[in-house]
Structure 1
Amino acid sequence: MPQILVDHSADLDFDRAVFAEEVHRAITEVIDTTVPDCKTVFRPAARYVVGDGTTGEAVVLVEIKILAGRSTEQRAELTARVLAVLESSLTVPAAIGVEVTELDRATYRFVHHR
């Protein structure tokens, strides 16, 4: 169920497999889910601007979509853990953001298409 969308500067060098593994583990420690249920998509952005464009910072924006019903404390803990993983994964200056959003249980569906 958790969907992790990672928008990042295309030239940013970080180990995506290790990042996903650590994020998936963190998610299972905070909410009731399993690692096989986690799905991460990396979306490199060829063009991006931070501020007035002169800082030279990379960009990483992470959205974690989980089913509704988790407490504010759980969502905040998940945000903090993913932010910590990001900070330990990056070796260059970067503008980073993490957001946990909720999927509506009544309307969200996910299947493994064969």
Structure 2
Amino acid sequence: MPHFTLEYSSNLPIQARDLLLKINASLVESQHFQEIDIKSRAIRLEDVVIGTTPDERAFLHAKLAILTGRSAEVRRQLSERVLVVIQTAQTWPQGLDVQLCVEVLEIDKETYAKAHLAN
């Protein structure tokens, strides 16, 4: 834990692996997670509609799923930390209305199961 998912519209020039590594490093620096426990993935979305106008628009939506038990303040700090990394990770395209957002989801600690198979 945690699980991190990055979804973004295909009209954004994201270097997903590089961005995920930066986010993982920031999560480790938060001292809330062990490095080996962070699982991140990125999903590039081809079929996207934002609003109803044909304007040039794009989005990036990040989901950080963590086990229950952290305060609202810690969850807010984590979402802001991830947002800062995303905002500063690259130069965003000119003339493109880009929406960036981060949400923190809680996974019920009582029902979460995990196995770690290290050979």
Question: TM-score over 0.5 for the alignment?
Answer: yes
2:62 alignment partner, SS class: strand
Q: Which amino acid is the alignment partner of residue 101 of structure 1?
A: L
Give the Å deviation of 1:29. Answer: 3.0
How far apart, in 2, do the equivalents of 1:30 and 1:55 lie? 37
Of structures 1 and 2, the larger Rg is shown by: 2
Identity over aligned pairs, percent? 26
Q: For structure 1, which runs of at least 5 residues remain unmatched after alignment?
A: none
How far is the alpha carbon of 1:31 from its aligned partner?
4.8
1:49 aligns with 2:53: no
- Partners of 1:107 and 1:5 lie apart in 2 by 21
Aligned residue in 2 for 1:102: 106
Q: Who is 1:82 aligned against? A: 82
Answer whether contact 1:50 1:95 (CA < 8 A) is retained. Answer: no
Residues matched between the structures, number: 114
Q: Is the partner of 1:66 in helix, strand or coil? A: strand
Per-residue CA deviation, residues 67-106 of structure 1 (Å, 9 max, x unaligned), is 1101111110111111111111341241121100111001
Conserved? CA contact 2:20–2:41, under 8 Å = no
Structure 2: 5+ residue stretches without partners: none
Q: TM-score, with normalisation over the residues of structure 1? A: 0.87
